[in-house]
Structure 1
Amino acid sequence: MTLPEASVQLYSLAKEFSADMQGSLDALAATGLRNVEAFDFVSRPAEIRAALDASGLASPTGHAPLLTDELWTPDGSIPTPAPEVVFEAAAQIGIRTVIDPFVAPERWLTEDGVLDIAERLNALAETAQGFGLSVGYHNHAQEFIASFDGVSAYERFVSLADPRVELELDLFWALTGGQDVPALVARLGDRLTAVHVKDGVVPASNPWAQGAPEFGSDSLDQRRAGEGDVPLAEALRAGTAIRYAVIEYDKAPGDVFADVAASLAFLRDGGFVA
């Protein structure tokens, strides 16, 4: 298997990126990173593309909501434009795969809800192809609350999704959802084309389960890769077609640029990325 390329989800440094886009990208490039994963890019594609070009970085993947009217984040919601607007902006930046990062928990609780998610993404895969793009889905932990005939809602979704729909597995959130993460990676096989390399102390309960306490990113205890509960090495070794190992912090433990560099060192020193 060809080793994945390292990347970083720009949501990890959302505040720094908003304050100084070029300086933030230059700092990431100085670590040796060649890729980033764009976030909240639709309103400013020309600005982001220019900054990426100036820093020598590319954004082969990007997060944008395709299946909801608002993009949820632990710290608030962002209104969403039409998919065609998203795809046009993505193509301008050079993004090749647009990944939906969050679908509300209640939509994962019934088989009809899961079928609807899959059918919508399947239709969007066709639309995206007209822009020279593909689409994907990124999980949190709500996809693992319900199960149908012993199969999690997430894996039922995978079975219903068009093979053109790519999967980006967030390893931290899959573990939070109670999954044997390396085994899940192995089952997803060649459908899994990206992972979020995220570590930390996994919450005691699924934040999206019924009756769970109110959740926000400030409640997370996330750590540098290799310093938390997530079996990152085993999960990465279980992959068969992962193209991008994307570093992410929902809440960086310290200076985010130093934290990204430390996780990149974990990936490099372990021989997990090219």
Structure 2
Amino acid sequence: MSRPLSVQLYTVRDLIAEDRDGVLRRLADLGFGAVEPFQPTEDPQGFRKVADDLGLRVSGAHAMGLLDPDPGPVFEAIATLGTDLAIVPAGIPAEDFTSHDGLARTADRLNALAERAAAHGLRLGYHNHWWEFEPVLEGRHALEVLADLLAPEVFLEVDTYWAAVGGADVPAVLRGLGDRVRSLHVKDGPAVKGEPNVAVGSGVMPVPEVLAAAQQAWRVVEFDSCATDLMAALGASVAYLDALAEGEAA
């Protein structure tokens, strides 16, 4: 895997609120080579300078503001961060994933937004939770049906943990989606709603099989919440994933 390991900064949201630059330094010291911001409009130029100074790439950016009536400033901020991947992290009604009509509306919305992203030199992506996988339409998870309706330029960032919580065979889904998947959220835990995450490699997720099914994608570690010390769990996740990467390269 030539791309550096990334981390979704929502994981350390409380710490960043107190000391952004110090937290970015700690993440770099743990071995992360990239980050995925979730508040791109907050001082994008300052963020870019700190990240560059630390040797951290920006693998992509989440932004709820992409669904605003005027997402132009959000696109501009994401471009300033130095990534071309603008990711919708949520905000589309869960009920739209329960019917073909709802999925068509969702696809139309994302396809139109992708055209606006392209004007800023960006690609638009969508990140899932469990509610895009729980509904099954004619034997396929809703997100798989949605993928067929999306314009080719729209990519998916598959949150592998939430996909499993939603009932998916994650490696099989990733193989089926193929090059549509540009990024993975890599996390672990009991795969039960409401339970905290644990260090990658210490829960029930079949992490090696998941990563092997989407080798071309960015790997982005995330914790929604953590059952143990957060920074220690992040360090253990880096060590585990680095060891896997060494095995892949051998």
Query: Is 1:227 aligned with 2:202?
Result: yes
Equivalent position of 2:39 in the other structure: 40
1:85 to 55, 73, 83: 73
4+ aligned runs moved over 6 Å, structure 1: none
1:194 counterpart SS class: strand
Secondary structure (helix, strand or coil) at the match of 1:115 reads helix
Seen in structure 2, the aligned counterparts of structure 1 residues 81 and 268 have a Cα distance that, compared at 3 Å, is farther
Aligned residue in 2 for 1:178? 167
Shift of 1:86: 0.9
Give TM-score, length-normalised by structure 1. Answer: 0.84
Conserved in 1, the CA contact under 8 Å of 2:124 and 2:153?
yes
How far residue 3 of structure 1 moved from its aligned partner, in angstroms, is 4.7
Q: CA separation in 1, counterparts of 2:121 and 2:95?
A: 32
Counterpart of 1:151?
A: 140
For 2:57, the equivalent position in structure 1 comes to 58
Indicate yes or no: 2:228 matched with 1:239. no
Structure 1 residues 150 and 66, CA gap change in structure 2 (3 angstroms): farther
CA 1:4–1:45: 2 relative to 1, 3 Å? closer
Alignment RMSD (CA, Å): 1.9
**Other-structure match for 1:98:** 86
Higher helix content, 1 or 2:
2
Residues 67 and 121 in structure 1, CA contact (< 8 A), matched pair in contact too: no
Report the CA distance shift for 1:81/1:22 in structure 2 as closer, same or farther (over 3 A).
farther
Q: How far apart are the structure 2 equivalents of 1:177 and 1:149?
A: 16
Q: Which has the higher strand share?
A: 1
Shift of 1:158: 0.4
| Structure 1 residue aligned with 2:48 | 49
Cα deviation code 1:58-87 (max 9, x no counterpart): 21301012664xxxxxxxxxxx57321110
- Structure 2 residue runs of 5 or longer lacking an equivalent are none
Equivalent-residue separation in structure 1 for 2:88 and 2:82 (angstroms): 17
1:118 is aligned, of 85, 101, 107, to 107
| 1:239 positional shift | 1.6
5+ long unaligned stretches in structure 1: 69-79, 208-218
User: Which 10-residue stretch deviates more, 117-126 or 253-262?
Assistant: 253-262
Same amino acid, percent of matched pairs = 38
CA positional deviation for 1:148: 2.2
Preserved CA contact (<8 Å) 2:157 2:184: yes
> Contact 1:225 / 1:266 at 8 angstroms: preserved in 2?
yes
Mapping of residues 139-218 of structure 1, within 5 Å: 139-203=128-192
CA distance in 1, matches of 2:123, 2:186: 22
Q: Any idea what SS the aligned residue of 2:197 has?
A: strand
Aligned to 1:132: 121
| Higher relative contact order (CA closer than 8 Å, sequence separation 6+) | 1
Amino acid at match of 2:220: V
**Aligned match of 1:265:** 239
The number of aligned residues is 247
Residues 131 and 48 of structure 1: is their aligned pair in 2 closer, same or farther, counting only changes over 3 Å? Answer: same
Tell which deviates more after alignment, 184-193 or 50-59. 50-59
